[in-house]
Structure 1
């Protein structure tokens, strides 16, 4: 049975996963993505500090896109929802890690926009039509970033 990991160890593991995903052969990465992506997304709930999770997720997404992963298609809705939630979190502090997390999350959206622009737009457009100002502002931030980075 797997032993419970301390938060520090879990963070160290997730930090290592991003760079390691680029070293895996494409078929091995594709084989691991159905477990890896939900596992990394679950870490958003376990860590108040999301920067390392977002950075690692961005690296994993880049690796997956570079090998033409088909698993991303299946996981896309969950990815978009989790990343959107990260952007819509109120940024009360101007701490460097909070700001860096926002940049990493926006980078994840850029990576996903390159491989699935239609699905990204289909996800974002309805969120512009909400009465929740925080969701609207977060969505506009994503749209602006993706347009500028494309």
Structure 2
């Protein structure tokens, strides 16, 4: 709740921003934007911590940041989104970092949470599909698949 209050008081309440209906703050699509913003800011922070604050970050550095997120309860609490957003721990092998979600239903005016707890995805179904389709896409588009276990495959970063 704190984050939304800060966003509202710091921007929308003062006429800053272009949101035509401030009542949308906190709605599901607004929240998706907030989550995306947190992920990208934290990826940049991770990259800057790794490569130094004076290093101009390029796409490879940003990718490293996105692949090394550590959004735990403490970090989510700092943002005021603990409970709204799950913990996210990413890696070269796992770009999702959480594999959980909550169910919501549209009541005609807004989304209502249907599940109280985070629901774990069926990874035994999902991972084979991810690998199969990723390999097919890489083959069709002549893309070399990175080897996350080979430090030389990411040598530009170290």
Q: TM-score, normalised by structure 1?
A: 0.29
Greater relative contact order (Cα 8 A, min sep 6): structure 1 or 2? 1
Considering only CA atoms, is the larger Rg found in Structure 1 or Structure 2?
Answer: 2
Between structures 1 and 2, the one with greater helix share = 1
